[in-house]
Structure 1
Amino acid sequence: MATATSSQKVLSLYRDFIRHGSKFSSYNFRDYTLRRSRDAFRANMTETSPEKIGSFIAKAEQELAVVKRQAAISQMYTTGEHLVVETPRKVK
């Protein structure tokens, strides 16, 4: 069974993936990142082995670092154009 600490870490990683994946300016990258993150976490949701959970957490941390970097780069080169399938974002 997963410990409370690892469960909190996994939940925190999941939230970070969703938060940073939502920052992509391109609809295609944003949608892919969010969909892939959800699918990966759901696929490993029932894992109980502490060793496997630890390796999943380590891999997720590496992939999160990539998502953070790519989202930051994506925001630097925005065109301001949106696809028809996108819902308009509210400007704050």
Structure 2
Amino acid sequence: MANTRSQALSLYRDLLRHGNKFSNYNFRAYAVRRSKDAFRNHQNEADPTTIGQLLKQGEQELQVVKRQAAISNLYTTGDRLVVETSVKPRHV
């Protein structure tokens, strides 16, 4: 059980980490939201067979997210959306 839990937590962290690598804000937000929702929907799963299948599916999704994030960064424009600005300019 502990091994499965650690695998799931590791997969969750990896999905969030690689989901945040998208250059486009909308894709980035979608990848993170989708990962969180998938884990939240299955957090009470108790069947070991189903958990194994979900982990396998999650690993496949992680590979897709890694590929798509890499492709996304190849075609970045550098333009930021208004919602992406995190630091407000100071008035001196």
Indicate whether the TM-score tops 0.5: yes
Q: Distance in 1 between matches of 2:84 and 2:20?
A: 13
Structure 2 unaligned residues grouped into runs of 5+: 88-92
TM-score w.r.t. the length of structure 2 is: 0.91
Structure 1 unaligned residues grouped into runs of 5+: none
- How many residue pairs match? The answer is 87
Within the candidate set 22, 25, 28, 1:24 is matched to 22
Post-superposition Cα deviations, 1:48-87, rounded to whole Å, max 9, x if no partner, equal: 1000000000000000000000000111111000111113
In angstroms, what is the RMSD of aligned CA positions?
1.1
Secondary structure of 1:85 counterpart: helix
Stretches (4+) displaced over 6 A: none
Q: Distance in 2 between matches of 1:81 and 1:37?
A: 26
Within the candidate set 62, 67, 70, 1:69 is matched to 67
- Verify: 1:87 aligned to 2:85, yes or no: yes
Identity %: 59
Q: Distance in 2 between matches of 1:25 and 1:31?
A: 11
Within the candidate set 46, 56, 61, 1:48 is matched to 46
